[in-house]
Chain A
Amino acid sequence: MNGSFVSLLSIALGAILVGNVVFTQLLGAGPFLGSSGSMGTAVRMGTVVTLVMGLTSAVCWPINEYVLGPNGLKYIESAVFFLTAVFLVQLLDVLVQKLLPGRKPLVGGRLPLAANCAVLGVVFQNVQNGSGFLQSLTYAVAGGLGFLMAVVLFAGVRERIEFAECPKSFEGAPIAFVAAGLLTLCFAGFSSLNVFG
Protein backbone atom coordinates (compact mmCIF):
# COMPACT_ATOMS: atom_id res chain seq x y z
CA MET A 1 0.00 0.00 0.00
CA ASN A 2 1.55 3.30 -0.96
CA GLY A 3 0.85 6.71 0.45
CA SER A 4 -0.68 8.09 -2.71
CA PHE A 5 -3.65 10.38 -2.47
CA VAL A 6 -6.04 7.83 -3.94
CA SER A 7 -5.08 5.14 -1.46
CA LEU A 8 -5.53 7.57 1.43
CA LEU A 9 -8.91 8.61 0.04
CA SER A 10 -9.90 5.00 -0.23
CA ILE A 11 -8.88 4.41 3.39
CA ALA A 12 -10.94 7.42 4.46
CA LEU A 13 -14.03 6.39 2.51
CA GLY A 14 -13.70 2.88 3.86
CA ALA A 15 -13.50 4.14 7.44
CA ILE A 16 -16.49 6.47 7.06
CA LEU A 17 -18.93 4.40 4.98
CA VAL A 18 -17.94 0.73 4.72
CA GLY A 19 -16.34 0.08 8.09
CA ASN A 20 -18.00 2.83 10.08
CA VAL A 21 -16.64 2.87 13.62
CA VAL A 22 -20.10 2.75 15.16
CA PHE A 23 -22.25 0.83 12.71
CA THR A 24 -19.86 -1.82 11.48
CA GLN A 25 -17.27 -2.15 14.19
CA LEU A 26 -19.52 -1.36 17.14
CA LEU A 27 -16.81 0.72 18.77
CA GLY A 28 -17.78 3.71 20.85
CA ALA A 29 -21.35 2.61 21.46
CA GLY A 30 -21.28 4.25 24.88
CA PRO A 31 -20.54 7.82 23.77
CA PHE A 32 -22.69 7.22 20.69
CA LEU A 33 -25.69 6.58 22.89
CA GLY A 34 -24.72 9.04 25.60
CA SER A 35 -24.11 12.11 23.46
CA SER A 36 -26.89 11.79 20.90
CA GLY A 37 -29.54 13.26 23.20
CA SER A 38 -29.30 16.66 21.51
CA MET A 39 -27.78 17.94 18.30
CA GLY A 40 -25.35 20.29 20.09
CA THR A 41 -23.87 17.57 22.29
CA ALA A 42 -23.65 15.23 19.33
CA VAL A 43 -21.65 17.67 17.23
CA ARG A 44 -19.35 18.52 20.14
CA MET A 45 -18.76 14.89 21.02
CA GLY A 46 -18.16 13.94 17.39
CA THR A 47 -15.61 16.72 16.99
CA VAL A 48 -13.78 15.85 20.19
CA VAL A 49 -13.67 12.15 19.28
CA THR A 50 -12.23 13.03 15.87
CA LEU A 51 -9.57 15.20 17.49
CA VAL A 52 -8.65 12.65 20.12
CA MET A 53 -8.56 9.81 17.62
CA GLY A 54 -6.21 11.67 15.31
CA LEU A 55 -4.01 12.84 18.17
CA THR A 56 -3.77 9.44 19.86
CA SER A 57 -2.98 7.67 16.63
CA ALA A 58 -0.34 10.24 15.77
CA VAL A 59 1.33 9.76 19.16
CA CYS A 60 0.92 5.99 19.43
CA TRP A 61 2.38 5.28 16.00
CA PRO A 62 5.92 6.45 16.80
CA ILE A 63 5.72 4.86 20.25
CA ASN A 64 4.94 1.52 18.67
CA GLU A 65 7.39 1.91 15.80
CA TYR A 66 10.43 3.25 17.64
CA VAL A 67 10.00 2.19 21.28
CA LEU A 68 7.90 -0.94 21.63
CA GLY A 69 8.75 -2.70 18.39
CA PRO A 70 12.58 -2.59 18.42
CA ASN A 71 12.78 -3.44 22.14
CA GLY A 72 10.51 -6.47 21.96
CA LEU A 73 7.92 -4.83 24.19
CA LYS A 74 4.94 -5.59 21.94
CA TYR A 75 3.23 -7.53 24.70
CA ILE A 76 2.59 -4.42 26.80
CA GLU A 77 1.27 -2.40 23.90
CA SER A 78 -2.36 -2.50 25.05
CA ALA A 79 -1.50 -1.05 28.46
CA VAL A 80 0.84 1.56 26.96
CA PHE A 81 -1.66 2.76 24.37
CA PHE A 82 -4.41 2.88 26.95
CA LEU A 83 -2.35 5.09 29.24
CA THR A 84 -1.25 7.29 26.34
CA ALA A 85 -4.86 7.86 25.35
CA VAL A 86 -5.94 8.68 28.90
CA PHE A 87 -3.01 11.06 29.26
CA LEU A 88 -3.71 12.82 25.96
CA VAL A 89 -7.39 13.27 26.74
CA GLN A 90 -6.60 14.76 30.13
CA LEU A 91 -4.07 17.06 28.46
CA LEU A 92 -6.62 18.15 25.89
CA ASP A 93 -9.16 18.86 28.59
CA VAL A 94 -6.67 20.96 30.56
CA LEU A 95 -5.53 22.80 27.45
CA VAL A 96 -9.07 23.66 26.45
CA GLN A 97 -9.83 24.96 29.90
CA LYS A 98 -6.61 27.01 30.00
CA LEU A 99 -6.84 28.40 26.48
CA LEU A 100 -10.54 29.11 26.53
CA PRO A 101 -11.20 30.14 30.11
CA GLY A 102 -14.82 30.42 31.08
CA ARG A 103 -15.87 27.87 28.53
CA LYS A 104 -17.64 24.83 29.75
CA PRO A 105 -15.58 21.66 29.41
CA LEU A 106 -16.12 20.24 25.93
CA VAL A 107 -17.76 17.11 27.14
CA GLY A 108 -18.69 15.94 30.59
CA GLY A 109 -16.05 14.36 32.80
CA ARG A 110 -16.80 10.88 31.53
CA LEU A 111 -15.01 11.37 28.22
CA PRO A 112 -11.53 10.34 29.40
CA LEU A 113 -12.86 6.85 29.88
CA ALA A 114 -15.90 6.66 27.73
CA ALA A 115 -14.45 7.57 24.36
CA ASN A 116 -11.53 5.25 24.71
CA CYS A 117 -13.08 2.13 23.25
CA ALA A 118 -13.40 3.81 19.87
CA VAL A 119 -10.08 5.66 20.13
CA LEU A 120 -8.09 2.65 21.26
CA GLY A 121 -9.85 0.34 18.85
CA VAL A 122 -8.67 2.46 15.96
CA VAL A 123 -5.12 2.56 17.35
CA PHE A 124 -5.04 -1.24 17.75
CA GLN A 125 -6.35 -1.73 14.25
CA ASN A 126 -3.63 0.47 12.84
CA VAL A 127 -0.98 -1.51 14.69
CA GLN A 128 -2.47 -4.85 13.66
CA ASN A 129 -2.60 -3.79 10.02
CA GLY A 130 0.97 -2.52 10.17
CA SER A 131 -0.10 0.78 8.58
CA GLY A 132 2.36 3.57 7.94
CA PHE A 133 2.09 6.91 9.71
CA LEU A 134 0.02 8.71 7.08
CA GLN A 135 -2.34 5.79 6.64
CA SER A 136 -2.79 5.51 10.41
CA LEU A 137 -3.54 9.18 10.75
CA THR A 138 -5.96 9.17 7.81
CA TYR A 139 -7.73 6.11 9.13
CA ALA A 140 -8.02 7.62 12.60
CA VAL A 141 -9.32 11.02 11.47
CA ALA A 142 -11.74 9.40 9.01
CA GLY A 143 -12.87 7.03 11.74
CA GLY A 144 -13.60 10.08 13.89
CA LEU A 145 -15.49 11.74 11.06
CA GLY A 146 -17.45 8.51 10.61
CA PHE A 147 -18.34 8.69 14.29
CA LEU A 148 -19.34 12.35 13.89
CA MET A 149 -21.61 11.54 10.96
CA ALA A 150 -23.16 8.58 12.76
CA VAL A 151 -23.82 10.48 15.95
CA VAL A 152 -25.32 13.50 14.14
CA LEU A 153 -27.64 11.28 12.10
CA PHE A 154 -28.58 9.42 15.25
CA ALA A 155 -29.22 12.63 17.18
CA GLY A 156 -31.69 13.66 14.45
CA VAL A 157 -33.44 10.32 14.61
CA ARG A 158 -33.59 10.45 18.39
CA GLU A 159 -35.17 13.91 18.35
CA ARG A 160 -37.82 12.37 16.18
CA ILE A 161 -38.43 9.22 18.18
CA GLU A 162 -38.76 11.22 21.36
CA PHE A 163 -42.47 11.18 20.58
CA ALA A 164 -42.53 7.45 19.94
CA GLU A 165 -45.22 5.63 21.86
CA CYS A 166 -43.19 2.53 22.48
CA PRO A 167 -43.97 -0.11 25.10
CA LYS A 168 -43.12 1.06 28.61
CA SER A 169 -40.17 -1.29 29.01
CA PHE A 170 -38.62 -0.09 25.74
CA GLU A 171 -38.56 3.57 26.79
CA GLY A 172 -35.12 5.17 26.99
CA ALA A 173 -32.10 3.15 26.01
CA PRO A 174 -33.81 0.14 24.37
CA ILE A 175 -35.79 2.10 21.79
CA ALA A 176 -32.67 4.16 21.03
CA PHE A 177 -30.83 0.88 20.49
CA VAL A 178 -33.52 -0.38 18.14
CA ALA A 179 -33.17 2.87 16.20
CA ALA A 180 -29.39 2.44 16.14
CA GLY A 181 -29.89 -1.10 14.84
CA LEU A 182 -32.12 0.19 12.05
CA LEU A 183 -29.52 2.84 11.14
CA THR A 184 -26.96 0.04 11.02
CA LEU A 185 -29.29 -1.79 8.65
CA CYS A 186 -29.28 1.26 6.35
CA PHE A 187 -25.49 1.34 6.40
CA ALA A 188 -25.36 -2.32 5.40
CA GLY A 189 -25.96 -0.92 1.91
CA PHE A 190 -22.39 0.33 1.87
CA SER A 191 -20.86 -3.07 2.58
CA SER A 192 -18.36 -4.23 -0.05
CA LEU A 193 -18.28 -0.81 -1.63
CA ASN A 194 -15.61 -0.56 -4.28
CA VAL A 195 -14.97 2.97 -5.47
CA PHE A 196 -11.42 2.94 -6.76
CA GLY A 197 -11.47 -0.35 -8.63
Chain B
Amino acid sequence: MKEYADLKLTVASSPHVGSPVGTRALMMDVLVALTPALCMAVFFFGPRALALTAVSVVGCEIFEALYRILLKKPVSGGDLSAAVTGVLLAFVCPVTIPYWTILIGDFFAIVVVKQLFGGLGKNFLNPALAGRAFLALCYLPEMTVWVRPGTKFWLGLTASAADAVSAATPMADLHNGLLPWLGTSGVRLHDMFYGNVGGCMGEVSALALLFGGGYLILRGVIHPRIPTTYLGTVALLAFLFPRVGSAEDWMLAQLLSGGLMLGAFFMATDYVTSPCTPWGEVLFGVGCGLLTVFLRSFGGSAEGVSYAILLMNACVPLLEKYTQPKRYGASRGWQRKARKEGEHHGKG
Protein backbone atom coordinates (compact mmCIF):
# COMPACT_ATOMS: atom_id res chain seq x y z
CA MET B 1 0.00 0.00 0.00
CA LYS B 2 3.05 2.28 -0.14
CA GLU B 3 2.05 3.98 -3.36
CA TYR B 4 -1.28 5.04 -1.87
CA ALA B 5 0.40 6.56 1.16
CA ASP B 6 2.27 9.02 -1.04
CA LEU B 7 -0.84 10.25 -2.82
CA LYS B 8 -2.46 13.33 -1.35
CA LEU B 9 -5.97 11.92 -1.09
CA THR B 10 -8.62 13.55 1.03
CA VAL B 11 -10.54 11.00 3.02
CA ALA B 12 -14.13 12.21 3.22
CA SER B 13 -17.51 10.73 3.95
CA SER B 14 -19.57 9.14 1.26
CA PRO B 15 -20.68 11.84 -1.20
CA HIS B 16 -17.42 12.01 -3.08
CA VAL B 17 -18.42 15.05 -5.08
CA GLY B 18 -15.75 17.70 -5.12
CA SER B 19 -16.64 19.99 -2.27
CA PRO B 20 -14.74 22.17 0.14
CA VAL B 21 -16.57 20.46 3.00
CA GLY B 22 -14.20 17.89 4.45
CA THR B 23 -14.50 15.54 7.38
CA ARG B 24 -13.07 18.16 9.67
CA ALA B 25 -15.77 20.71 8.85
CA LEU B 26 -18.55 18.13 9.23
CA MET B 27 -17.21 16.96 12.57
CA MET B 28 -16.85 20.58 13.68
CA ASP B 29 -20.56 21.04 12.95
CA VAL B 30 -21.38 17.94 15.00
CA LEU B 31 -19.32 19.27 17.90
CA VAL B 32 -21.11 22.62 17.68
CA ALA B 33 -24.44 20.82 17.65
CA LEU B 34 -23.47 18.89 20.79
CA THR B 35 -22.58 22.05 22.72
CA PRO B 36 -26.10 22.88 24.00
CA ALA B 37 -26.39 19.39 25.47
CA LEU B 38 -22.98 19.81 27.11
CA CYS B 39 -24.08 23.14 28.62
CA MET B 40 -27.18 21.49 30.03
CA ALA B 41 -25.08 18.65 31.45
CA VAL B 42 -22.80 21.13 33.21
CA PHE B 43 -25.82 23.11 34.41
CA PHE B 44 -27.51 20.07 35.93
CA PHE B 45 -24.54 17.98 37.09
CA GLY B 46 -21.73 20.48 37.71
CA PRO B 47 -18.23 20.97 36.28
CA ARG B 48 -17.41 17.27 36.48
CA ALA B 49 -19.51 16.75 33.35
CA LEU B 50 -17.24 19.13 31.44
CA ALA B 51 -14.10 17.55 32.89
CA LEU B 52 -15.25 14.03 31.96
CA THR B 53 -16.04 15.13 28.42
CA ALA B 54 -12.65 16.80 28.10
CA VAL B 55 -10.83 13.73 29.43
CA SER B 56 -12.76 11.52 27.04
CA VAL B 57 -11.98 13.73 24.03
CA VAL B 58 -8.28 13.92 24.89
CA GLY B 59 -8.22 10.17 25.56
CA CYS B 60 -9.76 9.36 22.19
CA GLU B 61 -7.42 11.67 20.28
CA ILE B 62 -4.36 10.30 22.09
CA PHE B 63 -5.33 6.65 21.54
CA GLU B 64 -5.96 7.34 17.87
CA ALA B 65 -2.66 9.17 17.42
CA LEU B 66 -0.73 6.53 19.38
CA TYR B 67 -2.20 3.66 17.36
CA ARG B 68 -1.45 5.33 14.07
CA ILE B 69 2.09 6.27 15.11
CA LEU B 70 2.77 2.72 16.34
CA LEU B 71 1.55 1.28 13.04
CA LYS B 72 3.38 3.93 11.03
CA LYS B 73 0.19 5.24 9.46
CA PRO B 74 -0.45 8.92 8.76
CA VAL B 75 -1.87 10.53 11.90
CA SER B 76 -5.43 11.57 11.24
CA GLY B 77 -6.13 13.56 14.40
CA GLY B 78 -7.00 16.68 12.45
CA ASP B 79 -10.33 15.28 11.24
CA LEU B 80 -11.87 15.57 14.73
CA SER B 81 -13.80 12.31 14.34
CA ALA B 82 -12.12 10.91 17.45
CA ALA B 83 -13.15 14.06 19.33
CA VAL B 84 -16.80 13.45 18.37
CA THR B 85 -16.49 9.85 19.57
CA GLY B 86 -15.03 11.12 22.83
CA VAL B 87 -17.87 13.58 23.42
CA LEU B 88 -20.56 11.04 22.52
CA LEU B 89 -19.08 8.36 24.77
CA ALA B 90 -18.93 10.78 27.67
CA PHE B 91 -22.54 11.79 26.97
CA VAL B 92 -23.81 8.23 27.36
CA CYS B 93 -22.09 7.70 30.71
CA PRO B 94 -23.33 8.81 34.12
CA VAL B 95 -21.60 11.85 35.62
CA THR B 96 -20.27 9.81 38.54
CA ILE B 97 -18.20 7.48 36.35
CA PRO B 98 -14.48 7.40 37.35
CA TYR B 99 -12.05 8.94 34.87
CA TRP B 100 -10.17 5.66 34.35
CA THR B 101 -13.36 3.88 33.34
CA ILE B 102 -14.15 6.32 30.60
CA LEU B 103 -10.56 6.04 29.35
CA ILE B 104 -11.00 2.27 29.02
CA GLY B 105 -14.16 2.96 27.04
CA ASP B 106 -12.21 5.37 24.83
CA PHE B 107 -9.55 2.75 24.24
CA PHE B 108 -12.12 0.13 23.25
CA ALA B 109 -14.05 2.54 21.00
CA ILE B 110 -11.03 3.95 19.19
CA VAL B 111 -8.58 1.05 19.03
CA VAL B 112 -10.74 -2.09 18.92
CA VAL B 113 -13.88 -0.83 17.19
CA LYS B 114 -12.47 1.77 14.83
CA GLN B 115 -8.73 1.72 14.19
CA LEU B 116 -8.24 -2.04 14.13
CA PHE B 117 -10.45 -2.14 11.04
CA GLY B 118 -8.51 0.68 9.40
CA GLY B 119 -9.82 3.86 10.96
CA LEU B 120 -12.46 6.34 9.88
CA GLY B 121 -14.95 4.88 7.44
CA LYS B 122 -13.91 1.27 8.03
CA ASN B 123 -15.62 0.50 11.34
CA PHE B 124 -19.00 -1.24 11.19
CA LEU B 125 -20.23 -0.28 14.65
CA ASN B 126 -20.63 3.20 16.07
CA PRO B 127 -17.46 3.49 18.21
CA ALA B 128 -19.05 5.49 21.04
CA LEU B 129 -21.98 3.10 21.41
CA ALA B 130 -19.78 0.02 21.22
CA GLY B 131 -17.55 1.62 23.86
CA ARG B 132 -20.58 2.16 26.04
CA ALA B 133 -21.78 -1.41 25.53
CA PHE B 134 -18.34 -2.69 26.52
CA LEU B 135 -18.30 -0.52 29.65
CA ALA B 136 -21.80 -1.72 30.54
CA LEU B 137 -20.58 -5.30 30.20
CA CYS B 138 -17.47 -4.73 32.32
CA TYR B 139 -18.39 -2.06 34.84
CA LEU B 140 -22.12 -2.31 35.32
CA PRO B 141 -22.16 -0.80 38.85
CA GLU B 142 -20.24 2.28 37.71
CA MET B 143 -22.41 2.63 34.62
CA THR B 144 -25.74 2.60 36.42
CA VAL B 145 -25.41 5.29 39.08
CA TRP B 146 -28.16 7.82 38.44
CA VAL B 147 -27.95 10.99 40.48
CA ARG B 148 -30.51 13.67 41.11
CA PRO B 149 -29.94 16.60 38.78
CA GLY B 150 -28.80 19.72 40.59
CA THR B 151 -26.27 17.76 42.64
CA LYS B 152 -23.10 19.66 41.76
CA PHE B 153 -20.10 17.46 41.16
CA TRP B 154 -16.68 19.05 41.27
CA LEU B 155 -13.62 17.56 39.71
CA GLY B 156 -12.85 14.82 42.27
CA LEU B 157 -11.19 11.66 41.00
CA THR B 158 -14.12 9.64 42.21
CA ALA B 159 -17.52 11.11 42.86
CA SER B 160 -18.02 10.56 46.59
CA ALA B 161 -20.87 8.29 47.61
CA ALA B 162 -22.39 11.03 49.77
CA ASP B 163 -22.80 13.28 46.75
CA ALA B 164 -24.31 10.53 44.69
CA VAL B 165 -27.90 10.73 45.89
CA SER B 166 -29.30 8.15 43.59
CA ALA B 167 -32.49 9.01 41.82
CA ALA B 168 -34.99 6.85 40.02
CA THR B 169 -34.92 7.67 36.33
CA PRO B 170 -38.00 8.18 34.15
CA MET B 171 -36.67 5.31 32.04
CA ALA B 172 -36.85 2.91 35.02
CA ASP B 173 -40.43 3.98 35.67
CA LEU B 174 -41.40 3.37 32.07
CA HIS B 175 -39.69 -0.01 32.20
CA ASN B 176 -41.85 -0.89 35.22
CA GLY B 177 -44.97 0.23 33.41
CA LEU B 178 -45.45 3.55 35.21
CA LEU B 179 -45.72 7.09 33.90
CA PRO B 180 -42.75 9.01 35.36
CA TRP B 181 -44.86 11.69 37.03
CA LEU B 182 -46.89 9.01 38.76
CA GLY B 183 -43.93 6.69 39.42
CA THR B 184 -41.01 6.64 41.84
CA SER B 185 -39.01 9.27 39.96
CA GLY B 186 -41.87 11.78 40.16
CA VAL B 187 -40.47 13.66 37.15
CA ARG B 188 -42.90 15.85 35.27
CA LEU B 189 -43.10 16.05 31.52
CA HIS B 190 -41.56 19.53 31.19
CA ASP B 191 -38.66 18.48 33.43
CA MET B 192 -38.02 15.65 30.99
CA PHE B 193 -38.13 18.13 28.16
CA TYR B 194 -35.57 20.50 29.74
CA GLY B 195 -33.46 17.69 31.15
CA ASN B 196 -34.08 18.09 34.87
CA VAL B 197 -33.95 14.30 35.37
CA GLY B 198 -31.49 11.61 36.39
CA GLY B 199 -29.69 9.84 33.58
CA CYS B 200 -26.57 9.78 31.43
CA MET B 201 -25.12 13.26 31.43
CA GLY B 202 -25.54 14.19 27.79
CA GLU B 203 -28.88 12.59 27.08
CA VAL B 204 -31.11 14.17 29.72
CA SER B 205 -32.10 17.35 27.91
CA ALA B 206 -34.37 16.66 24.96
CA LEU B 207 -34.59 20.39 24.28
CA ALA B 208 -30.84 20.85 23.85
CA LEU B 209 -30.59 17.73 21.68
CA LEU B 210 -33.48 18.87 19.48
CA PHE B 211 -31.63 22.18 19.05
CA GLY B 212 -28.47 20.37 18.07
CA GLY B 213 -30.28 17.96 15.76
CA GLY B 214 -32.14 20.83 14.09
CA TYR B 215 -28.83 22.62 13.56
CA LEU B 216 -27.32 19.56 11.89
CA ILE B 217 -30.33 19.16 9.61
CA LEU B 218 -30.36 22.85 8.67
CA ARG B 219 -26.65 22.76 7.94
CA GLY B 220 -27.22 19.72 5.77
CA VAL B 221 -24.85 17.60 7.83
CA ILE B 222 -27.45 14.89 8.42
CA HIS B 223 -30.53 13.97 6.44
CA PRO B 224 -33.76 13.93 8.47
CA ARG B 225 -34.68 10.50 7.09
CA ILE B 226 -33.18 8.41 9.89
CA PRO B 227 -34.21 10.59 12.87
CA THR B 228 -37.77 11.00 11.63
CA THR B 229 -38.32 7.33 10.84
CA TYR B 230 -36.66 6.31 14.11
CA LEU B 231 -38.60 8.70 16.33
CA GLY B 232 -41.75 8.14 14.26
CA THR B 233 -41.62 4.37 14.76
CA VAL B 234 -41.11 4.71 18.52
CA ALA B 235 -43.91 7.31 18.74
CA LEU B 236 -46.31 5.21 16.71
CA LEU B 237 -45.69 2.03 18.67
CA ALA B 238 -45.95 3.85 22.00
CA PHE B 239 -49.16 5.53 20.84
CA LEU B 240 -50.70 2.25 19.69
CA PHE B 241 -49.65 0.19 22.69
CA PRO B 242 -49.55 2.36 25.81
CA ARG B 243 -48.97 0.32 28.95
CA VAL B 244 -50.66 2.82 31.27
CA GLY B 245 -52.33 6.19 31.03
CA SER B 246 -53.43 7.92 27.88
CA ALA B 247 -51.78 7.17 24.59
CA GLU B 248 -50.36 10.71 24.23
CA ASP B 249 -48.84 10.71 27.71
CA TRP B 250 -47.17 7.37 27.17
CA MET B 251 -45.90 8.41 23.76
CA LEU B 252 -44.43 11.71 25.00
CA ALA B 253 -42.82 10.02 27.99
CA GLN B 254 -41.23 7.40 25.72
CA LEU B 255 -39.97 10.02 23.28
CA LEU B 256 -38.48 12.34 25.89
CA SER B 257 -36.83 9.80 28.18
CA GLY B 258 -33.60 7.89 28.02
CA GLY B 259 -31.12 8.23 25.20
CA LEU B 260 -33.62 8.32 22.37
CA MET B 261 -33.04 11.90 21.19
CA LEU B 262 -29.26 11.63 21.44
CA GLY B 263 -29.38 8.29 19.67
CA ALA B 264 -31.74 9.36 16.90
CA PHE B 265 -29.94 12.58 15.96
CA PHE B 266 -26.30 11.88 16.76
CA MET B 267 -25.68 8.13 16.87
CA ALA B 268 -28.00 6.53 14.32
CA THR B 269 -27.04 9.17 11.75
CA ASP B 270 -23.32 8.34 11.86
CA TYR B 271 -22.29 8.31 8.18
CA VAL B 272 -20.02 5.34 8.49
CA THR B 273 -22.38 2.98 10.27
CA SER B 274 -25.72 3.86 8.69
CA PRO B 275 -26.84 2.82 5.19
CA CYS B 276 -26.01 5.06 2.25
CA THR B 277 -29.14 4.20 0.25
CA PRO B 278 -32.38 6.15 0.88
CA TRP B 279 -34.54 3.07 1.40
CA GLY B 280 -31.79 1.57 3.50
CA GLU B 281 -31.94 4.65 5.72
CA VAL B 282 -35.69 4.32 6.11
CA LEU B 283 -35.46 0.64 7.01
CA PHE B 284 -32.59 1.43 9.35
CA GLY B 285 -34.63 4.05 11.20
CA VAL B 286 -37.68 1.81 11.44
CA GLY B 287 -35.52 -1.10 12.62
CA CYS B 288 -33.90 1.07 15.31
CA GLY B 289 -37.36 2.14 16.46
CA LEU B 290 -38.74 -1.40 16.57
CA LEU B 291 -35.74 -2.74 18.46
CA THR B 292 -35.75 0.19 20.87
CA VAL B 293 -39.38 -0.40 21.79
CA PHE B 294 -38.79 -4.15 21.98
CA LEU B 295 -35.79 -3.83 24.29
CA ARG B 296 -37.40 -1.11 26.40
CA SER B 297 -40.46 -3.31 26.91
CA PHE B 298 -38.88 -6.72 27.35
CA GLY B 299 -35.14 -6.16 27.88
CA GLY B 300 -33.23 -6.83 31.06
CA SER B 301 -32.24 -3.20 31.46
CA ALA B 302 -34.54 -0.20 31.23
CA GLU B 303 -32.96 1.44 28.18
CA GLY B 304 -32.54 -0.14 24.77
CA VAL B 305 -31.45 2.68 22.46
CA SER B 306 -27.74 1.86 22.41
CA TYR B 307 -28.18 -1.84 21.68
CA ALA B 308 -30.93 -1.13 19.14
CA ILE B 309 -28.61 1.12 17.14
CA LEU B 310 -25.68 -1.28 17.49
CA LEU B 311 -27.78 -4.20 16.25
CA MET B 312 -28.97 -2.15 13.29
CA ASN B 313 -25.35 -1.11 12.61
CA ALA B 314 -24.61 -4.80 12.24
CA CYS B 315 -27.46 -5.10 9.70
CA VAL B 316 -26.23 -2.19 7.56
CA PRO B 317 -24.27 -4.31 5.06
CA LEU B 318 -27.41 -6.38 4.40
CA LEU B 319 -29.64 -3.30 4.19
CA GLU B 320 -27.32 -1.66 1.69
CA LYS B 321 -27.01 -4.81 -0.35
CA TYR B 322 -30.75 -5.24 -0.81
CA THR B 323 -31.78 -1.60 -1.18
CA GLN B 324 -29.41 -0.55 -3.92
CA PRO B 325 -31.25 1.97 -6.07
CA LYS B 326 -31.97 0.82 -9.61
CA ARG B 327 -29.31 2.03 -11.98
CA TYR B 328 -30.63 4.24 -14.72
CA GLY B 329 -31.59 2.06 -17.67
CA ALA B 330 -30.89 -1.22 -15.93
CA SER B 331 -33.60 -3.81 -15.43
CA ARG B 332 -34.24 -5.51 -12.09
CA GLY B 333 -33.15 -8.90 -13.34
CA TRP B 334 -29.92 -7.51 -14.66
CA GLN B 335 -29.20 -5.94 -11.35
CA ARG B 336 -29.84 -9.15 -9.47
CA LYS B 337 -27.41 -10.87 -11.80
CA ALA B 338 -24.82 -8.17 -11.22
CA ARG B 339 -25.19 -8.54 -7.48
CA LYS B 340 -24.64 -12.28 -7.70
CA GLU B 341 -21.60 -11.78 -9.89
CA GLY B 342 -20.24 -9.27 -7.42
CA GLU B 343 -20.62 -11.88 -4.74
CA HIS B 344 -18.57 -14.34 -6.74
CA HIS B 345 -15.91 -11.73 -7.33
CA GLY B 346 -15.85 -11.05 -3.63
CA LYS B 347 -15.30 -14.70 -2.98
CA GLY B 348 -12.41 -14.98 -5.40
Contact = CB atoms under 8 A, between A and B. Distances in A.
Interface residues of B, number: 37
Interface in A132-189: 152-153, 156-157, 159-167, 170, 175, 178-179, 182-183, 185-189
B122 A165 contact: yes
A16 to B, nearest CB: 13
A153 B318 contact: yes
A131 interface: no
Of listed A39, A40, A153, residue having the most chain B CB within 10 A = A39
The listed residue with most A CB atoms (<10 A of its CB), out of B113, B317, B346, is: B317
A162 B317 contact: no
B300 A161 contact: no
B298 A195 contact: yes
Indicate the member of A167, A175, A185, A189 with the most B CB atoms within 10 Å: A189
Contacts, number: 101
Nearest to A195: B298
B317 A186 contact: no
B116 A38 contact: no
A186 B347 CA distance: 26
B118 A193 contact: no
B116 A175 contact: yes
Contacts of A194: 298, 300
A7 interface: no
Contacts of B311: 186-187, 189
A97 interface: no
Contact of A153 (B134, B295, B315): B315
A169 to B, nearest CB: 11
Contacts of A166: 116-118
Main secondary structure of the interface of A (DSSP, over half): helix
B137 interface: yes
Interface stretch (B41-49, B85-93, B142-150, B302-310): B302-310
A165 B119 contact: yes
Interface residues of A, number: 34
A154 to B, nearest CB: 9
Contact of B137 (A40, A157, A188, A192): A188
A170 B117 CA distance: 9
Nearest to A158: B317
A125 interface: no
B295 A186 contact: no
Interface of B: 1, 71, 112-113, 116-119, 122, 124-125, 130, 133-134, 136-137, 295, 298-300, 304, 306-308, 310-311, 313-318, 321, 343-344, 346-347
Interface of A: 37-40, 152-153, 156-157, 159-167, 170, 175, 178-179, 182-183, 185-195
Closest 5 CB pairs of A and B: A189-B307, A192-B300, A165-B118, A156-B317, A164-B117
13 contacts: A38-B343, A153-B314, A156-B316, A156-B317, A157-B317, A160-B317, A161-B122, A164-B118, A165-B119, A185-B125, A185-B130, A189-B304, A189-B307
